[in-house]
Amino acid sequence: MSAKYDLNYDLDTIRHSAAHLLAQAIIRSFPEEKVRLGIGPTIDDGFYYDIDMEHHLTEEDFPRIEKEMLAIIAEDLTITRKVLSRDDAILFFKNLGEDLKVELIEGIPAEETLTSYTQGEFTDLCRGPHVRKTSEIPSHFKILSVAGAYWRGQENQKVLQRVYATAFLSEKELQEHLKFLEEAKNRDHRKLGKELELYLMDAHAPGSPFFMPKGAIVYNELVAFIRRLYHQFDYQEVITPQVLDVELWHISGHYENFHENMFFTDIENREYALKPMNCPGHMLMFKHYKYSYRDLPLRFADFGRIHRYEKSGTLSGLTRVRTFSQDDGHIFLSLDMIQQEISELISMYFMCYRHFQFMDVKVNLSTRPQKRMGEESSWDLAEEALRKALVENKCDYQLNPGDGAFYGPKIDFKVADALKREYQLGTIQLDFQLPERFDLKFVNAKGELERPIVIHRALLGSIERFFGIYLEHVGGAFPFWIAPEQAVVVPVKSDAKTQLDYAYKIYHQLKSAGYRVRVDARNESMNLKTRQVQTAKIPFMLVVGDREVGNSGVSVRRYGSKSSENMTFNGLTELFADLMKEKNPAERIYKENNKENHQANHQEEIVL
């Protein structure tokens, strides 16, 4: 960091000043254009300026504007602040032809002080603060992109050009950030989803992905993995209807509270809704049987498809959709079972996230809010149980007092991906309310009817959204067990019958062992085929030439590797079998006092 920035300006001030620099440079770069300015705030990782001009800015304009920004820095213009009366401000910007600024002023409450900042010929309406002269703005900035944006965010307003840029205190930080952006762009799941033929979108179903064959494999493997976890942790999967009478949604409270996000349909003069959540269905199922304490905790899991309305403008890739499935589950239990169950859940969650190589997991505990339902003693017990379970699992957690839902406390899990971006994935939400609304009861040990508590829980959350996050996390290079195509067999000479025969022999063997494999027997160069296998990020390319035919071997090239290794076919199948073990979650460790599995000490192999 050079000396001239040692001025105690924080990054936000620097970026604020850089935004003015950008606006001034744009005006200067297009002297023939009438440029009108909107707003130019800082955002996470940078800033933008909304402008209105005839010329459509493109990436080709960026160098010229950046050069002008550097020139303004070199001019070392003094930046002066001025307090303006409302009338003066309006008059001033009206004279400049800055109608948008006039609109902004008119929208600012009367009691607020208006200030402007001037550098050379450029004056902007601004709260500040700013640096004192343009030479104090570091030259470590970069214009990134331009996009359309409604003026004031309203769809009935004019579309302005939003110029995104960033600035840092050091060149190193800037370069690191640009590298991050480049990497994020390359990993963008919408881009990868298209390139790897994982899914597509169609105007006939907005926000509703069509998973192509390769995407469907990944999707189904995600579900299969969660099912294996469920088998270990004693969940019981159920399959439930999607279209349910609104009467049910009145009972559950969704009709009143979630109506805006639901789709409705009519059947025989009754109103039905497409389910936006699975919970009410599970409540019905619980109510249908007379469960006893011996049956609890009862864990229903459901991969049912749900539908939620989102405005078409907000839809994006797999992360903001109108239809998705969750690895959803509801646990019915009594108050005294909470700690044990939460403890099991926490270890299950960590087991899951680690399996997908999300190693940095943050946990939040949100406790009773001001407005809440349920007895105080229940909240005491529940919160204490959650806390103890977190401690028991040696979980560093952040406490968010008052942040729980009105119907119960909750734990949520955030993971950081390969680019250190954080995403909230799983939640564990206690619910005192739904069992009330559905009047659920179980027979307790004393033979009395008791109200159960419900835990809503999902590890991945929306599978569609997790798909998108995970795709970016692995940058499209899926691990072997989940890769849509696991290997491609390539004969060196596609016209050599012995090689071709041998390639198919290998193909059949691997396929009948369950692997996802194909032969690339096209009459194309080995170079092209290799490049295509790399681009498709397929874990293994298996090359077979005369030598391999001769020694029943295979030349194995792993994804990302520049070189090949020779293996026997037996060696290869052993390697594959070994890699496939990664589809299994880690072995569950039974905790002591686990009611159902109190013989935890019998995990060792039976020797006979």
Residues between 222 and 261 that touch a copy of itself (CB under 8 A)? 231-232, 236-245, 247-248
Q: Residue written as tokens 């000043």?
A: 17
Among 113, 535, 570, 593, binds a copy of itself (CB under 8 A): 570
Cβ-based nearer residue to a copy of itself, 140 or 322: 322
Does residue 357 bind a copy of itself (CB under 8 A)? no
Which residues from 318-337 bind a copy of itself, rule CB under 8 A?
Answer: 322-323
Pick the piece of the chain touching a copy of itself (CB under 8 A) from 55-63, 284-292, 401-409, 474-482: 284-292
Least separation in angstroms between CB 333 and a copy of itself: 16
Label the pairing between strands 42-43 and 517-519. unpaired
Chain centroid to Cα 500, Å, comes to 43
Choices 37-45, 85-93, 202-210, 473-481 (CB under 8 A): range interacting with a copy of itself? 202-210
Q: Is 497 a catalytic residue?
A: no
Q: Report whether 286 contacts 307 (CB < 8 A).
A: no
- Compare residues 141 and 507 and give the one whose CB is closer to a copy of itself: 507
- Contact between 215 and a copy of itself (CB under 8 A)? yes
Residue 257: CB minimum distance to a copy of itself, A:
18
Comparing CB distances to a copy of itself, the nearer of 184 and 243 is 243
Q: Which of 193, 281, 404, 476 binds a copy of itself (CB under 8 A)?
A: 281
Q: Where are the beta strands (DSSP E) in 114-208?
A: 114-119, 122-125, 141-150, 159-167, 199-200
Q: Segment 294-313, which members bind a copy of itself (CB under 8 A)? A: 300, 305, 307, 309, 311-312
Residues in 499-528 at the binding interface with a copy of itself, rule: CB under 8 A: 500-501, 504-509, 511-512, 514
User: What is the total count of residues that contact a copy of itself (CB under 8 A)?
Assistant: 77
Q: Which of 456, 465, 529, 588 is catalytic?
A: 456
Our CB check for a copy of itself shows the closer of 55 and 595 to be 595
> What's the rounded Cα separation, in Å, for the pair 525 and 499?
15
Q: Is 274 in the site for a copy of itself (CB under 8 A)?
A: yes
In the set 150, 151, 258, 263, which binds a copy of itself (CB under 8 A)? 263
- In 356-505, at which residue ranges do the beta strands (DSSP E only) sit? 361-366, 397-400, 410-416, 422-431, 442-443, 449-450, 453-462, 487-491
Closest CB to a copy of itself among 41 and 206?
Answer: 206
CA 296 to chain centre: 33
Can residue 219 be called a binding residue for a copy of itself (CB under 8 A)? yes
- In the complex, minimum distance from the CB of residue 197 to a copy of itself, in angstroms, rounded to a whole number: 8
* Beta carbons of 285 and 440 less than 8 angstroms apart: no
* Closer of 248 and 556 to a copy of itself (Cβ): 248
CA distance 52 to 60: 18
Dist CA 556 CA 280 (whole Å): 52
* Closest-CA residue to 10 (of 219, 217, 169): 169
Binding status of residue 206 toward a copy of itself by CB under 8 A: yes
Q: Give the Cα separation of 297 and 295 in Å (integer).
A: 6
* Burial class, 257, CB count within 10 angstroms (exposed 0-12 / middle 13-18 / buried 19+): exposed
Give 60's contacts (C-beta < 8 A, 6+ positions apart). Answer: none
Q: Is residue 561 involved in binding a copy of itself (CB under 8 A)?
A: no
Q: Is 598 designated active site?
A: no
ω into 241 cis (within 30 of 0):
no
Alpha helices in 423-522 (DSSP H): 434-437, 463-473, 497-512
486 labelled catalytic: no
| Spatial CB neighbours of 447, under 8 Å, sequence gap ≥ 6 | none
Q: Is 110 in the site for a copy of itself (CB under 8 A)?
A: no
CA distances (Å), origin 334, targets 21, 298, 432, 457: 62, 10, 11, 16
Q: Which of 95, 260, 288, 563 forms a contact with a copy of itself (CB under 8 A)?
A: 288
Contact call for residue 220 and a copy of itself (CB under 8 A): yes
| 279 catalytic per annotation | yes
Q: Closest approach of Cβ 235 to a copy of itself, in Å?
A: 9
- Whether the CB-CB separation of 338 and 386 falls below 8 Å is answered with yes
| Least distance (Å) between residue 260 CB and a copy of itself | 12
Phi, psi at residue 304, to the nearest 5°? -60, 145
Closest approach of a copy of itself to the CB of residue 570, in Å = 5
Q: Which of 52, 124, 328, 417 is flagged as catalytic?
A: 328
> Could you confirm whether 330 is annotated as catalytic?
yes
Task: State in angstroms the smallest separation of the CB of 603 from a copy of itself.
Answer: 6
Radius of gyration, CA atoms only, the chain: 30
Taking the complex as a whole, how short is the minimal distance between the CB of residue 308 and a copy of itself, in angstroms?
11
By the 10 Å C-beta count (0-12 exposed, 13-18 middle, 19+ buried), 253 is classed as: middle
Contacts from 2-5 at CB under 8 Å and sequence distance 24+?
4/135, 4/136, 5/136, 5/138, 5/169
When the beta carbons of 25 and 517 are compared against a copy of itself, the nearer one is: 517
Active-site annotation holder among 279, 327, 372, 387 = 279
* Cβ pair 143, 58 in contact under 8 A: no
Nearer to a copy of itself, 33 or 221 (CB): 221
Least Å distance, CB 509 to a copy of itself, is 6
- Residue 147 DSSP label: E
Which residue is catalytic, options 308, 457, 529, 588?
308
Report the residue from 121, 396, 587, 592 that binds a copy of itself according to the rule CB under 8 A: 587
Q: Quick one: 71 or 528, whose CB is closer to a copy of itself?
A: 528
User: Please, is 161 exposed, middle or buried when counting C-beta atoms within 10 Å of its C-beta (0-12, 13-18, 19+)?
Assistant: buried
Contact 315, 322 (CB under 8 A): yes
61/295 with CB nearer a copy of itself: 295
State which of residues 3, 110, 589, 606 lies at the interface with a copy of itself (CB under 8 A): 606
The set of catalytic residues is 279, 308, 326, 328, 330, 410, 456
